[in-house]
């Protein structure tokens, strides 16, 4: 067990209004940090005293500095803003352990610029994801819901379109959802698939505005389409995002990956634990991760529950499901081992009986 330590963080001459912004109503921000990081924080005037285990204390210390910086321009820091800060927080030592020196060296300057403003990835894993998207022709973002996989991929596409590095954006999804069949939905094919593509539209509207997106779609600079529409096409000077890729078949995934043309890049996102394909059908995403594992030019970023940037309950739910799945896998492994042992014992018993009969 790590020994407890105390750190003192001082903000000399901090104005009262900035201090109140850091503390939150009734010291709510400090209480939130205490609860989430399992530390104890007290303060006197411009000094904060943080007690706890070293990793948690270092993270809390970093968060206090970020709160101080935020208070300069934001007089009323919300609990949601603090929650996002906590989700993205890592100590310098943890970042060094997670990433190579080359990757870590450029993480501080990773951001995306859109018409509606600058988007800063939260946490080292999101920064590495964006860095790899901007540097690689093909990237994978794998992990649970709420980790920003699709949102950051769309932001990277918009950033590159605004800088004229690509000529168009294609947002692609397999039209497969849990319990839904396209034939039961009202409307023509476009109206049927629109609900499945809504998260991609929402991200575009947030970054470019509704009217701009409508114009770009009309000019076919932005195309939102089901995966089936990709067959037979070669995509040049394009940024192609395949979302919900866990619901592709191996054949569909191979088809998509071989669409890439000159001056293009592709980002594939998905969660291999949320497959909605018919029972027994292999996920194209899980299959592709095994097939392309040795190709150095293709980068895979794996997100975890700690990278979730939605409501803190979402992280706890993801962790609960991960724990449940691990326990079920453990039990299944034990059951298989027991079944194998019984079969081996039965074979050995039958062999022994056969030997006895032969001797008789």
SS3 of 323-357: the string is HHHHHHHHHHHHHHHHHHHHHHHHHHHHHHHHHHH
Cα–Cα distance, 252 to 277 (Å, whole number): 13
Tokens of 30: 């400090």
Least Cα distance to 249 among 278, 225, 227, 282 occurs for 282
User: Can you give the pLDDT at residue 114?
Assistant: 82
Count of CA atoms in the C-beta half-sphere (13 A) of 220? 0
User: Can you give the pLDDT at residue 249?
Assistant: 92
Least Cα distance to 275 among 240, 250, 301, 307 occurs for 250
pTM above threshold 0.85: no
Whether the per-residue pLDDT at 340 is higher than 80: the answer is no
Q: In this structure, are 111 and 10 located in the same domain?
A: no
Does residue 180 contact residue 250 with C-beta atoms inside 8 Å? no
User: Can you give the pLDDT at residue 113?
Assistant: 83
Q: How confident is the model at residue 274 (pLDDT cuts 50, 70, 90)?
A: confident
Residues 6+ apart with CB under 8 A from 324: none
Kind of pairing, strands 168-173 and 238-242? parallel
Q: In this structure, are 164 and 49 located in the same domain?
A: no
Cα–Cα distance, 354 to 360 (Å, whole number): 10
Based on the structure, what is the number of domains in the chain? 2
Q: Indicate whether 351 belongs to any domain.
A: no
Whether the per-residue pLDDT at 240 is higher than 90: the answer is yes
Higher pLDDT, 163 or 322: 163
Domain termination site, one of 62, 89, 116? 89
Domain termination site, one of 52, 69, 89? 89
Q: In this structure, are 73 and 111 located in the same domain?
A: no
């Amino acid at each position: 067990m790590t020994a407890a330590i105390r750190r003192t963080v001082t903000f000399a001459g901090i104005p009262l209004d900035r201090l109140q912004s850091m503390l939150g109503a009734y010291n709510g921000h400090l209480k939130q940090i205490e609860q989430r990081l399992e530390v104890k924080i007290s303060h006197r005037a411009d000094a904060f005293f943080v007690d706890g285990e070293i990793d948690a204390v270092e993270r809390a210390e970093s968060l206090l500095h970020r709160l101080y910086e935020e208070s300069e321009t934001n007089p009323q820091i919300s609990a949601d803003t603090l929650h996002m800060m906590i989700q993205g927080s890592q100590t310098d030592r943890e970042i060094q352990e997670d990433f190579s020196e080359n990757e870590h060296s450029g993480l501080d300057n990773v951001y995306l610029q859109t018409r509606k403003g600058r988007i800063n990835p939260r946490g080292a894993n999101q920064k590495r994801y964006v860095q790899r998207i901007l540097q690689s022709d093909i990237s994978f973002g794998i992990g649970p819901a709420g980790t920003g996989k699709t949102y950051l991929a769309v932001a990277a596409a918009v950033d590159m379109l605004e800088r004229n590095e690509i000529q168009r954006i294609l947002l692609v999804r397999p039209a497969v959802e849990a319990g839904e069949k396209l034939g039961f939905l009202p409307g023509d094919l476009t109206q049927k698939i629109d609900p499945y593509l809504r998260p991609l539209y929402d991200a575009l509207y947030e970054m470019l505005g509704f009217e701009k997106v409508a114009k770009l779609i009309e000019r076919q600079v932005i195309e939102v389409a089901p995966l089936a529409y990709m067959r037979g096409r070669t995509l040049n000077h394009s940024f192609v995002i395949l979302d919900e890729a866990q619901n592709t078949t191996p054949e569909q995934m191979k088809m998509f990956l071989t669409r890439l043309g000159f001056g293009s890049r592709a980002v594939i996102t998905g969660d291999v634990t949320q497959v909605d394909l018919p029972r027994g059908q292999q996920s194209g995403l899980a299959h592709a991760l095994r097939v392309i594992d040795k190709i150095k030019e293709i980068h895979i970023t794996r997100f975890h529950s700690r990278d979730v940037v939605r409501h803190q309950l979402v992280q706890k739910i993801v962790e609960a499901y991960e724990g449940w799945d691990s326990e079920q896998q453990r039990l299944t492994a034990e059951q298989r081992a027991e079944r194998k042992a019984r079969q081996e014992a039965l074979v050995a018993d039958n062999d022994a009986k056969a030997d006895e009969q032969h001797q008789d």
